[in-house]
Amino acid sequence: MRRHIWTLLKLAIGLGLMAFVLSRVDLPVVLAKLSSANGWLVGLGVLLFWGAMSINAFKWWTLMRAQGLHPPFASVLNFTFVGFFFNNILPANIGGDVMRGLGLARDTERTAASAASVVLDRLIGLSAYMTVAAVAALITVYVTDRTELTILAWVAVIAVATLASVMAALLSRRLRRLGDRVIQGTFLRPLTPIWLSASQAFEVYRFSHRTLFAAFGIGLSGIFTTSLVNYTLSESLGGGIPLLHVFLFTPLIALVLIVPISIGGLGLNQVAYPFFFGLVGVSYEHAVSLSLFIQAVQIFCSLPGGLLWLRWRRRDSAPSSSPLTPPPQPQP
């Protein structure tokens, strides 16, 4: 009951934020923008979005191979699509990560290694996002002389440093030993097998520098493609947003959407777009239109994940024949 109440509260917050945004916008202008969108550019945006998802799946696949996990890339792509589907229907983005991890663990029967690959994939992805934001912010501030955005540059740089520190902590042998002492010397001792499996899984990445750098590079190409999605959809609505600003704000908006106060980013998405793009003079109506369009494209692009999940459920619920029962013989 408590979980359902919290979910309903998040839904109410998201709808409240949506109502607040729509109450401040010239709705006929927004509807006119959405109805007159360039269909070819919208189609290109959808293809780029699926391309970004495939790139992120490849990043995750690269990380799991360091764990000795070798599922087919098609399976990893399926897990990614299912996770993205759940990101759009569950609070925050953690639901999708859980579904990805469960799918991989079921496929490989290695729970700790699967969980470690998901956690590192998320951290490296966020690090790539914030690195792009930091570079774009520094160029915006010091090359184009938008000094009023200096605070955003600092936010991005601090975010990169924080994420790097978290990854270093996960891979630190000293902190692992400290965790061993805490687990062994406290009431947490029954959790020792789980702790050892998890710490050993993360230990693998301590000596996989090439894999980590490769995953980071793949993550950069993923955020580049995701930013092109935003730029393409903005152009389909009439344009007016420089690509540099898209590179700056797309990662920052993604960081905001991690805050678990709405379902699938509903409402929070619509607040974030006009706030950030309004800092560089983008009209409120255009930013809100873009946020609604992005939300619709995300939901549409996640639908294959829903179909794949239904196929999982049918496969799991299908009765399995006993190995002791001979298969039925064809009738003559």
User: Can you spell out the DSSP letters for 152-191?
Assistant: HHHHHHHHHHHHHHHHHHHH-HHHHHHHHHHHHHSTTGGG
The answer to whether residues 157 and 151 touch, using CB atoms and an 8 Å cutoff, is no
Q: Which of 251, 15, 248, 280 shows the shortest CA–CA distance to 138?
A: 248
Rounded CA-CA distance 92/104 in Å is 21
pTM: 0.85
pLDDT computed for residue 117 by the predictor: 86
pLDDT computed for residue 324 by the predictor: 40
pLDDT computed for residue 255 by the predictor: 85
Q: What is the amino acid identity at position 85?
A: F
Rounded CA-CA distance 158/50 in Å is 30
Rounded CA-CA distance 59/81 in Å is 14
Digit-by-digit pLDDT tens for the chain (332 residues) are: 666 677 788 788 888 988 999 889 898 999 999 999 999 999 999 999 999 999 999 999 999 988 888 889 999 999 999 989 988 876 544 577 888 888 888 888 888 888 888 888 888 888 899 999 999 999 988 888 888 888 988 988 898 888 888 877 777 777 777 777 776 666 666 656 655 666 666 777 877 888 989 999 999 999 999 999 999 999 999 988 999 999 999 999 988 888 777 777 888 899 999 999 999 999 999 999 999 999 999 989 999 988 988 887 777 666 544 444 444 444 43
Phi, psi of 195 (to 5 degrees): -60, -45
The answer to whether residues 118 and 147 touch, using CB atoms and an 8 Å cutoff, is no
pLDDT computed for residue 325 by the predictor: 40
Rounded CA-CA distance 120/4 in Å is 30
Q: Which of 140, 100, 109 shows the shortest CA–CA distance to 244?
A: 140
Say what the alpha-carbon torsion angle 77, 79, 84, 89 is, to the nearest 10 degrees.
Answer: 150
Phi, psi of 91 (to 5 degrees): -60, 135
Instruction: Give SS3 for 22.
Output: helix
The answer to whether residues 292 and 32 touch, using CB atoms and an 8 Å cutoff, is no
Q: Which of 280, 277, 306, 302 shows the shortest CA–CA distance to 291?
A: 277
Rounded CA-CA distance 192/200 in Å is 12
Instruction: Give SS3 for 76.
Output: helix
The answer to whether residues 309 and 317 touch, using CB atoms and an 8 Å cutoff, is no
Instruction: Give SS3 for 136.
Output: helix
Calculate the alpha carbon distances from 91 to 129, 183, 228, 260 in Å: 21, 31, 26, 6
